[in-house]
Amino acid sequence: MKTVATSLVSNHPMGIEVIAVPAGTKVDLDLRLESVVEGILVSGKAFSVAEGECARCLIDITRDVEASVRELYAFPDSTTAQTIEDDEVLILEDDLIDLEPLVRDELTLQLPLAPLCQPDCPGLCSVCGERLADLEPDHNHEIVDARWAALQSQFGSISEVEEK
Ligand SMILES: [Zn+2]
Ligand SMILES: [Zn+2]
């Protein structure tokens, strides 16, 4: 068994539309390579940083992302490689292991479908479109009619009167 610390950089983003490890961003890999009868068993962890946008307030966010990987890379002449559909098994080509598809799949699975800048992100104001987290807590656009306000102060709370 061999332990390898390596990294890879993809020319394509790894993830989904709303959040992904951008193209050109390094993915660190801590891997164990085990020689088995059918090929090489690769397992370990992948670490990188994803970039995206908050699903509620749309600001840019970055997230550490970590994924476990485990895959058998079969020798081209092994029974596994010959009896399984092409796209179900990763074949060692010229003794090289192409880690990118595996790392891409596993990292993508760890990314949230609706990433948030903070767990309780209040989103955007429906009137002015500003980020509520950046605004005063009592932010609102209610225009108080001056005459109505005067009546209200005269009779107390008008909302107690039921409309029929
Ligand atoms: Zn947000
Ligand atoms: Zn507003």
Using the mean position of ligand 2's atoms as its centre, give its distance from the Cα of residue 146 in Å.
21
C-alpha 128 to ligand 2 mean position (Å): 4
Q: Give 140 Cα–ligand 2 centroid separation in angstroms.
A: 6
Ion ligand 2: protein residues whose beta carbon lies under 5 Å: 125, 127-128
Lowest mean pLDDT among 6-15, 44-53, 59-68, 135-144: 135-144
- Our CA dihedral for 125, 129, 132, 136, rounded to 10 degrees, sits at -90
Tell me the mean pLDDT in the region 96-111: 92
Please state the pTM of the whole predicted model.
0.74
Q: How far is the CA of 54 from the centre of ligand 2 (A)?
A: 18
* H-helix or E-strand spanning residue 66: strand 60-74
> What whole-number distance in Å separates Cα of residue 63 and Cα of residue 52?
8
Task: Write the pLDDT tens digit of every residue in 9-39.
Answer: 999 999 999 999 999 999 999 999 999 988 8
pLDDT of residue 87 exceeding 90, the answer is no
SS3 for 107?
Answer: helix
Which ligand is closest in space to the CA of residue 60?
A: 1
Q: Model confidence over 105-162: pLDDT tens digits?
A: 999 999 999 999 999 999 999 999 999 999 998 898 876 666 666 766 666 655 555 5
Place of tokens 């192409």: 98
